[in-house]
Amino acid sequence: MSGAGGSGAGAGGAPAGGAGAGGADAGGAGASGAGAAERRGAGAERLRVVSLGVLAAASGMALLAASGWLVTRAAEQPPVLALLAAIVVVRALGLARAFGRYGERLAAHDAAFRQLALLRVDWYRRLVARPPQPSTPAAADLLSRFVTDVDELQHRDVRVRTPALVAVAASLVATALAALILPAAGLVLGGGLLAAGTLVPGVAFLAARSALRRQGAARAALTDELAEAMDAAQQLAVAGRAGERLARIDAASAALARIGRRDAAAAAAAQGLGALVAGATLVAVLAVAVGPVGDGRLEPVWLGALALLALGAFEPVGALPEAAVRAVGVAAAQERLRQAAPPVLATRRAPVAAPPLPGVRRSPAAHGAPPAAAPLAPTAVLPSGRRTTTTQDGALTARGLRHALGGATVLDGAELTLAPGRKVAIVGASGAGKTVLANLLAGLAAPDEGTVSLGGVPLAALDPAAVRGRVRLAGQDAHLFATSIANNVRIGAPGADDAAVGVALRATGLGPWVDALPDGAATLVGEEGLAVSGGQRQRIALARCLVSPAELLLLDEPTAMLDPPAAQALLAQLARASGERGVLLITHERIGLDAFDEVLELRDGRLRPASA
């Protein structure tokens, strides 16, 4: 995530005019109205799907009942004209069932895919907005949740809610039809449907609950093993540990397979139990109908109609055991996603541009980016409900920071102020906590104690997008995407033109190298930047940071892979290229720091003026 600090989109300007509070309220009302409209649309869509499903199910049951009546009546060999009406009804019901089923499937899957797209976007936004915590799942597990668990949520409507609503409505229709033919048969059929719709899914739910809740964890374990084995394949082979790793992968795969077999066994048992209940209900319906047929109270043709109606009535209910199993899977997926990225409390920003920061005048020549509107003034909603906006000085302030990693305290009361126009360097031994401090200042993690504020407002109370608009971090392990050099730089400012990208690259000392490439800045860097060296990777990340519109830049060990002369030259270039923006340099070397206004040393968890 440290590399992502340079990838957040910079906040753009907004049209002038309109009071901040009123604009924010209007924006909140607009968002609320849009959400209400979206919920109404989803409700109408769900109603359409359920209506089509009920139409298909009712038509299917009526088709079977009419067919039973027709077959029984035909056995009596009446005149053909006496069967004509029944034949027309059977054909009409057959068409209605086919069209209803097709429409229900089409509408259900259309709604599911649309909802799936919204779920993916929503979950990704929640994941990006959440600072990494020690409990954050590993990358492979996050990918598994993003793909498998989010896909599982699409079944919430298609395989859980819709079948349940259709089964309830269809059971009522079937019971009413049977009661019209013979009240006692309607009572028996209703009882059988009730048992099949409650007891059988309940058994399936209980049988699948323990297995499916463990399935997500088992899948994550297998994914982690595979990802780690692929990442470290060469090291494992050299160390002679490949066989051991393969055994672990096989064990994780076998554990997941066992859970899958239990899931299948539970579904099969539920289906078998449902078939038993359906068969018993059919026998009971025929038993209560035989007497009235024998004494003439019910015409024999209705016996065939009741028999086939009883069989058809269990078709919609037969989907409920699978729905119960899916409900367990959906609930488990929802919980895993919530653990990985809980919903972020909404924050609001006034839709007006903030006044420019005092003394800060940016130009393309100064830092390699085209002129951009000042970032929006972040507006926060504090716990008391009072709205507040960052002050115009935009200073990044840390007060009383205390933080521990793995039980060891790395920061113990650290305090720092970085204002626009100031150049501050922090030196310290490896492991002193410099990178931890950078992540806390960028809002990528929350301190155990103390506060980090931007313009007087705690970062926790601000919209993360607004923070990214003013503060950017170029981390040690910045990620390069499998695209061109220019596009990797544009992550810091998507609207930057080729000239701005070129200025930023030259400011980091990459100009001669890029100019020598056949495709220049359009050269592809390969997957994860494998086509460039470690030093080039860091400089591309620096260019990404410089091209951004942020007023405060946090640079974590930008010279770690450079020799002393190259490091000194790069720091001098960065000091010039940053113009009047605030720069915090984190390094373990003390060379090239003459251009910085203040040099601090992080030692024993505290920041002190560096000794000569």
The residue ranges of every structural domain in the chain are: 20-29+36-119+143-340, 388-609
pLDDT reported for residue 488: 92
Contacts 24+ apart (CB under 8 A), 257-265: 259/211, 259/212, 259/214, 259/215, 259/218, 260/215, 262/208, 262/211, 263/208, 263/211, 263/212, 263/215, 263/325, 265/207
CA atoms within 13 A on the CB side of 569: 11
pLDDT reported for residue 380: 41
457: β partners: 454
Q: Are 424 and 598 in contact (CB under 8 A)?
A: yes
At 126, which helix (H) or strand (E)?
A: helix 80-129
Task: Specify the CATH number of the domain 20-29+36-119+143-340.
Answer: 1.20.1560.10
Q: What does DSSP say about strands 387-389 and 379-381: parallel, antiparallel, or unpaired? A: antiparallel
**What is the Cα 360 distance to its own chain's centre?**
38
Q: Which of 30, 36, 103, 97 is CA-nearest to residue 62?
A: 97
pLDDT reported for residue 429: 85
* Helix 242-294 / helix 183-231 crossing angle, nearest 10 deg: 170
Q: Which residues of the chain have pLDDT under 70?
A: 1-42, 129-141, 210, 212-213, 216, 342-393, 612
Q: Are 150 and 119 in contact (CB under 8 A)?
A: yes
Residue identified by tokens 């494992």 is 236
Q: Are 376 and 349 in contact (CB under 8 A)?
A: yes
pLDDT reported for residue 11: 34
pLDDT reported for residue 132: 56
Handedness of CA 474, 478, 484, 487 (dihedral sign): negative
pTM over 0.75, yes/no: no
Residue identified by tokens 């601090």 is 600
E-strand stretches of 105-164: none
pLDDT reported for residue 212: 67
Name the CA radius of gyration of the chain, rounded: 34
Q: Write out the DSSP string of 245-308.
A: HHHHHHHHHHHHHHHHHHHHHHHHHHHHHHHHHHHHHHHHHHHHHHHHHHTTSS-THHHHHHHH
453: β partners: 397, 458
Q: Which of 481, 476, 414 is CA-nearest to residue 451?
A: 414
Q: Write out the DSSP string of 496-555.
A: --HHHHHHHHHHTT-HHHHHHSTTGGG-B--GGGTTS-HHHHHHHHHHHHHTS--SEEEE
In angstroms, the CA 435 to CA 543 distance is 19
Q: Are 87 and 70 in contact (CB under 8 A)?
A: yes
Residue identified by tokens 């990704």 is 124
Q: Which CATH class is domain 388-609?
A: alpha beta
Residue identified by tokens 């609001």 is 348
Structure tokens at 104: 């229900």
Residue identified by tokens 């503060």 is 471
pLDDT reported for residue 342: 65
123 residue type, one letter: W
pLDDT reported for residue 39: 57
Q: Which of 291, 317, 314, 267 is CA-nearest to residue 184?
A: 291
pLDDT reported for residue 235: 83
Which bin fits 354, alpha (ψ -120 to 50), beta or left (φ > 0)? beta
